[in-house]
Structures are given as structure tokens and as C-alpha cells.
């Protein structure tokens, strides 16, 4: 049995919810149809002609890529331009293209976390916060006999996390009343008769992203046909989400040593380095892709170095003057996403017993050569 492409996209959106993307980013399904089963999926950084040939060779019905193939509204679709030819080839071979870009950068375990993990950073925080996850208060009324069961179900589903504490809830006992109407099948009582039942009021906190999972667990474990519950927004900030990460090295190391570590861990042949190579580095900021805009964020967090791509000449001078070192492994260092995304989707597909295979693209899409 092969997985449906629509289902694969849902898995991808569990890993990197679309709501986490930066405004106006080009993400989601960009080309083709996902209403089909796919035996092979190719995971790529860029969708180039060679990558599409690789997808054709693999008989892949879907490419999941990091960089968009359509950036602005198309004025035409002429198939004698390089871009037009590429779209034509994809459509002719029934290959859909799905993009996960800044949402994957921001997501827990995504590009920026991956970079921080590869460099063995500890005490990792977000470099630029874009949003805090909204929190909601969940209150549910349960007959005393089932209070423990419902409480366990909603807390095990992930409700009730406060800082480093899980399973946080508050519980009071009271009396609930109800009168079943005609046509009901009440768990307690009889149609037309007012009932009084000893009930518990269980309240807890739920991050919006797992709300449906928690509610499902609540409905499943609750004995009543009609569950009485309230869900209301609270003016509290949940987990911070954003671009880049900043963290500490367990032991300070020289800038040169960190540059060597970046080269080997990110699997890049060269890095450009700004700053005194002997300088001890303790705090490291990382950002996948183009990070020229993030010098001030790195300085604000007290980082000694910013590891990011596409640094330009003047930004390098500004950083040097401000005392921030830079290691630039190039934009293509983002290729690390291929193996990560393919492995995590493969695990989800295997768990569900499907035969669909996920392949990290083996095509090198680095446009630069170093002579």
C-alpha cells in the first residue's frame, strides 16, 4: 500500500505547520496534484532540471522542496523559457511540487534547530521571535466517577504543560444539572426528568496547535453524549517561535576550530570567515539561508559569532566593527534539510505500514564553484 500524497503533505505540515511561515512566503503545493497515491517522494533543497530528472528516474510523484519554484504571479507559461520548460516537464510526468520554507526554518526540529544540534549548542533560544503560540483554557465538566479517566486522557494528549511541568490541572467538585430531552440516550438519568449529578470541573491549559488532539481525547474518554466544556483564549504567551537560534558551546573554542566544525558538520567544502581566528567563541547564533539581516539580532543576544549564508561585503564590515565574527558556509548548507525531512517522513510512513519511499536528492544544487 502506498501513501496518498495528500496524507504525506499532512505529515509534512505536522513537522512544519504552514501557520509558522513568514508572511507572504511562497509555501504549500505549488504545482501539480496531490490527489493520488505515490510510491516515491523526492526531498530536495532546490527544484532544478537535474532534480526533476532524478524524480523521473525514481518514478516520484511528489517533490518536497525547501525553495519555491514559483516566486511571483506568472505572467505567462511559455514552455520555451527555462522556468516554463521545467513546469512543463513536471506536469507531463505528473510530479507535484510542495514547498516547506520558512515554516520549516521556524518549526521545532526544523532547519535552525538542526543547525544548532549539529554544532552541539546548548541552552538554545530563538534568535528572532515571530510569534508566540496562542494558549487556550480548557474547562470540562465530568461526573466524579469518570473524572480521573478524562483528566488522564486530556493531559496525556499534551494539555497542561507549564514551563518544565506537565500534567498541570485544577479540579473542583460541584453539582451539575441537566434534563435529557426526548430522543436522547443519556448515560445517567431519563428523558424528561431533571437530574443532579456530582461532577468535577477540570481546568487546564492547551496550546492551540494541539487543541483538536486534546478535544478528541476528551470526547473519547467522556461518558456523556453531549460533553459540557468551555474553551477560551487567555492573555498568556505560549512557546516562542521564530527564525534562527542562539546557544552556547559546552566549552569555548577558537573561531578557527568552530569554522572547521561547521565545514565538517554541514558538509561544505569552504566557509568564509570574518574575525580573529584565535578568538574564543562561547555563544553562537545560527540561521539557515540568508542571514545578512540578522547581525543586530546576534549582537543583541550577546553572540560571539553568527553562522549564516549570503553575507555581503558591507555587512561583513559592520559585523567586524561591532565585534561579531561570522562564519558563512553558503546558502547551499541548507541541503542538510534533505536527509532530515526524508528520514522523518519515512518514519511516519513506516509507522503506518505504507510502502512509500522517501529519497533525499543526491543532486548538488550549489551554483558556485570555488577555484
Residues that bind Zn ion (CB under 5 A): 289, 334
Per-residue HEC secondary structure of 173-194 comes to EEEEEECCCCCCCCCCCCCCCC
Q: Quote the least distance from Cβ 44 to Zn ion, whole Å.
A: 12
Q: Quote the least distance from Cβ 368 to Zn ion, whole Å.
A: 14
Rounded-to-integer distance, Cα 359 and Cα 123, Å: 32
Cell of 200: 468535577
Tell me whether residue 138 or residue 341 sits nearer to Zn ion (CB atom): 341
Tell me whether residue 242 or residue 289 sits nearer to Zn ion (CB atom): 289
Tell me whether residue 334 or residue 340 sits nearer to Zn ion (CB atom): 334
Q: Which residue is nearest to Zn ion (CB)?
A: 289
Q: Quote the least distance from Cβ 266 to Zn ion, whole Å.
A: 13
Tell me whether residue 35 or residue 72 sits nearer to Zn ion (CB atom): 72
Tell me whether residue 244 or residue 289 sits nearer to Zn ion (CB atom): 289
Sign of CA dihedral 16, 21, 27, 28: positive
According to DSSP H, which parts of 222-252 are helical? Answer: none
Q: Quote the least distance from Cβ 310 to Zn ion, whole Å.
A: 9
Per-residue burial over 109-123, b if 16 or more Cβ lie within 10 Å, else e, is: ebbbbbbbbbbebee
**Whose grid coordinates read 526554518?**
105
Question: What are phi and psi for residue 65, nearest 5 degrees?
Answer: -125, 160
Q: Quote the least distance from Cβ 286 to Zn ion, whole Å.
A: 13
Long-range contacts of 51-56 (CB under 8 A, 24+ apart): 51/361, 51/363, 51/365, 52/86, 52/89, 52/90, 52/93, 52/95, 54/361, 54/362, 54/363, 55/93, 55/95, 56/89, 56/93, 56/95
Sign of CA dihedral 195, 200, 205, 206: negative
Q: Quote the least distance from Cβ 105 to Zn ion, whole Å.
A: 8
Residue 139 β-bridge partners: 203, 230
DSSP tag of 188 = S
Q: Quote the least distance from Cβ 309 to Zn ion, whole Å.
A: 7
Q: Quote the least distance from Cβ 334 to Zn ion, whole Å.
A: 5
Tell me whether residue 104 or residue 224 sits nearer to Zn ion (CB atom): 104
Tell me whether residue 7 or residue 365 sits nearer to Zn ion (CB atom): 365
Tell me whether residue 66 or residue 261 sits nearer to Zn ion (CB atom): 66
Rounded-to-integer distance, Cα 370 and Cα 296, Å: 29
Amino acid at each position: 500500500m502506498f501513501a496518498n500524497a495528500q496524507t504525506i503533505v499532512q505529515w509534512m505540515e505536522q513537522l512544519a505547520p504552514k501557520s509558522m511561515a513568514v508572511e507572504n512566503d511562497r509555501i504549500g503545493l505549488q504545482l501539480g496534484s496531490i490527489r493520488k497515491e505515490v510510491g516515491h517522494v523526492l526531498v530536495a533543497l532546490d527544484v532544478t532540471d537535474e532534480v526533476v530528472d532524478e524524480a523521473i528516474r525514481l518514478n516520484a510523484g511528489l517533490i518536497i522542496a525547501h525553495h519555491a519554484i514559483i516566486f511571483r504571479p506568472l505572467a505567462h507559461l511559455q514552455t520555451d523559457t527555462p522556468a516554463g520548460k521545467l513546469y512543463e516537464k513536471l506536469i507531463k510526468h505528473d510530479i507535484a511540487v510542495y514547498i516547506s520554507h520558512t515554516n520549516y526554518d521556524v518549526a521545532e526540529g526544523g532547519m535552525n534547530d538542526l543547525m544548532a544540534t549539529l554544532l552541539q549548542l546548548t541552552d538554545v533560544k530563538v534568535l528572532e521571535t515571530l510569534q508566540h503560540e496562542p494558549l487556550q483554557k480548557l474547562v470540562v465538566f465530568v461526573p466524579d466517577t469518570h473524572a480521573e479517566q478524562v483528566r488522564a486522557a486530556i493531559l496525556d494528549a499534551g494539555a497542561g504543560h507549564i514551563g518544565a511541568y506537565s500534567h498541570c490541572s485544577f479540579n473542583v467538585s460541584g453539582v451539575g444539572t441537566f434534563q435529557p430531552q426526548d430522543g436522547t440516550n443519556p448515560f445517567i438519568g431519563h428523558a424528561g426528568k431533571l437530574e443532579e449529578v456530582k461532577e468535577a470541573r477540570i481546568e487546564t491549559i492547551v496550546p492551540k496547535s494541539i487543541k483538536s488532539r486534546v478535544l478528541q481525547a476528551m470526547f473519547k474518554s467522556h461518558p456523556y453524549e453531549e460533553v459540557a466544556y468551555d474553551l477560551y483564549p487567555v492573555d498568556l504567551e505560549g512557546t516562542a517561535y521564530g527564525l534562527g537560534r542562539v546557544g552556547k558551546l559546552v566549552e569555548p573554542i577558537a573561531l578557527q576550530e568552530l569554522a572547521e566544525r561547521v565545514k565538517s558538520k554541514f558538509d561544505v567544502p569552504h566557509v568564509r570567515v570574518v574575525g580573529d581566528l584565535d578568538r574564543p567563541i562561547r555563544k553562537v547564533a545560527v540561521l539557515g539561508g540568508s542571514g545578512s539581516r540578522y547581525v543586530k539580532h546576534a549582537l543583541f543576544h550577546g553572540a560571539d559569532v553568527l553562522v549564516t549564508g549570503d553575507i555581503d561585503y558591507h555587512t561583513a564590515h559592520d559585523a567586524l566593527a561591532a565585534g561579531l565574527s561570522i562564519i558563512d558556509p553558503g546558502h547551499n548548507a541548507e541541503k542538510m534539510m534533505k536527509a532530515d525531512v526524508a528520514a522523518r517522513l519515512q518514519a511516519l510512513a513506516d509507522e503506518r505500514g505504507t510502502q512509500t519511499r522517501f529519497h533525499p536528492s543526491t543532486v548538488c544544487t550549489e551554483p558556485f564553484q570555488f577555484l
